[in-house]
């Protein structure tokens, strides 16, 4: 924080003070006023679709179909849901009075929090910037946004949309690296919404605690997939391949490692390779496939390759994939098995197109393994055996 330019600090302080003043006015905002602000945003957002496509392609080769599904449609769905329900959400809720308040009537009246901060990630920048922003505006708050510096083209489009759609006291944005985020989180916001890694989430939470600021932390983790022998293999393969390799595995809820019953492992792997080949291409064939993303930057590219190298050094054997190309930050869709339990790939969130495959015969051992590790963000079960599904849950 000490390295941050004094002028940038002053600009942030001025914006924060401006929004604090405006937030007091917003406490009286009604449904029509809040929806009018969202309508204004939607028009600018829709008008920016071509810029959104181009910026996503420029930053990490994201195909238009994925941008439509995970960025544009996701934001529009948030807007639709908020418009449909906001009037109901804003109404006071009558509640039964306690004995201590006998003879009185009670109700819950919802009020805006005030000035809110959205610190958004690079993997789904439009979705995970504008989604929280929409909810905050709907609740009658002002918003300051800090987008990721790792996707500069997408962040530039986000900034342009914000400038066109809002006045600075409604929503404003500050670009920069960690020093900007650090200074922002030191301010006494009324709420902070952060999406990112657990490691950075700890810093955000510690900074927020100094001001007793409430936080929403949407973090990552190692999300397991458990494939029971009762599974429909072809359906499971399509679902898992999409969840793992879309966005090049750079998704917080992507399958991180796969436990599969030993009796169906060979058939499953065979079908998975057919699916990968059809969707993206096996090995280097995926390099020129326009539907297959790049790794976001050189640092993440090197980190993922280190995970793969370490796994192979610790007994891991490639089932398919493993190819890489520095020039395009390309790493092929990869399945690997046999790595040691203490290998980095089994202990760090992968956030890339590597999928460790582990066989099992005893479901209790799988459950014990998952339970003895940090709680994952997601867990996926594929199978038809209701008893086993309930047991896992």
Catalytic residue, chosen from 218, 262, 349, 365, is: 218
Q: Token pair of 104, please?
A: 């009185």
CA angle 53, 72, 128 (to 5 degrees): 105
218 catalytic per annotation:
yes
Q: What are phi and psi of 315, to 5 degrees?
A: 95, -5
Q: CA 388 to CA 244: how far, in whole Å? A: 23
For the chain, give the number of residues: 393
For residue 389, what are the contacts with CB-CB under 8 A and spacing of at least 6? 228, 381, 383
Q: CA 222 to CA 191: how far, in whole Å? A: 27
Q: Which residue in 12, 358, 316 sits closest to 184, CA to CA?
A: 12
Contact in structure between 146 and 176 (CB atoms under 8 Å) = yes
Exposure class string for 302-321: b at 16+ Cβ within 10 A, else e: ebbbebbebbbebebebbbb
Catalogue the active-site residues. 218
């Amino acid at each position: 924080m000490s390295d941050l330019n004094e002028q940038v600090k002053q600009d942030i302080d001025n914006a924060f003070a401006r929004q604090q003043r405006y937030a007091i006015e917003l406490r009286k905002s009604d449904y029509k006023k809040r929806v009018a602000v969202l309508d204004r945003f939607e028009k600018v957002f829709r008008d920016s679709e071509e810029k959104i496509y181009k910026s996503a392609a420029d930053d990490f080769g994201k195909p238009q179909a994925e941008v439509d599904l995970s960025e544009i449609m996701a934001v529009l769905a948030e807007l639709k849901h908020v418009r449909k329900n906001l009037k109901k959400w804003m109404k006071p809720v009558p509640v039964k009075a306690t004995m201590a308040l006998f003879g009185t009537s009670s109700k819950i009246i919802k009020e805006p929090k005030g000035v809110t901060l959205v610190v958004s990630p690079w993997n789904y920048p439009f979705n995970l910037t504008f989604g929280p922003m929409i909810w905050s505006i709907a609740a009658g708050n002002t918003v300051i946004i800090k987008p990721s510096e790792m996707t500069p083209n997408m962040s530039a489009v986000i900034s342009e949309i914000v400038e066109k759609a809002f006045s600075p006291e409604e929503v404003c944005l500050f670009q920069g690296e960690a020093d900007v985020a650090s200074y922002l989180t030191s301010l006494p916001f009324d709420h902070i919404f952060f999406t990112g890694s657990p490691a950075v989430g700890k810093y955000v939470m510690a900074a927020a605690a100094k001001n007793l600021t409430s936080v929403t932390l949407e973090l990552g983790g190692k999300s397991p997939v458990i494939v029971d022998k009762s599974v429909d293999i072809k359906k499971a393969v399509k679902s898992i391949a999409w969840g793992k390799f879309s966005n090049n595995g750079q998704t917080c809820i992507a399958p991180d490692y796969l436990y599969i019953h030993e009796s169906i492992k060979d058939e499953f792997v065979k079908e998975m390779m057919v699916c990968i080949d059809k969707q993206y291409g096996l090995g280097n064939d995926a390099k020129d496939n326009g539907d297959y993303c790049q790794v976001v930057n050189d640092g993440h590219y090197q980190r993922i390759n280190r995970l793969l190298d370490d796994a192979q050094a610790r007994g891991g054997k490639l089932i398919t994939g493993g190819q890489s190309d520095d020039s395009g930050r390309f790493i092929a869709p990869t399945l690997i098995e046999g790595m040691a339990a203490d290998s980095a790939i089994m202990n760090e969130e992968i956030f890339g197109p590597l999928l460790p495959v582990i066989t099992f015969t005893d479901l209790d051992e799988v459950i014990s393994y998952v339970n003895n590790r940090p709680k994952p963000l997601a867990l996926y079960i594929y199978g038809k055996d209701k008893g086993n599904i309930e047991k896992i849950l």
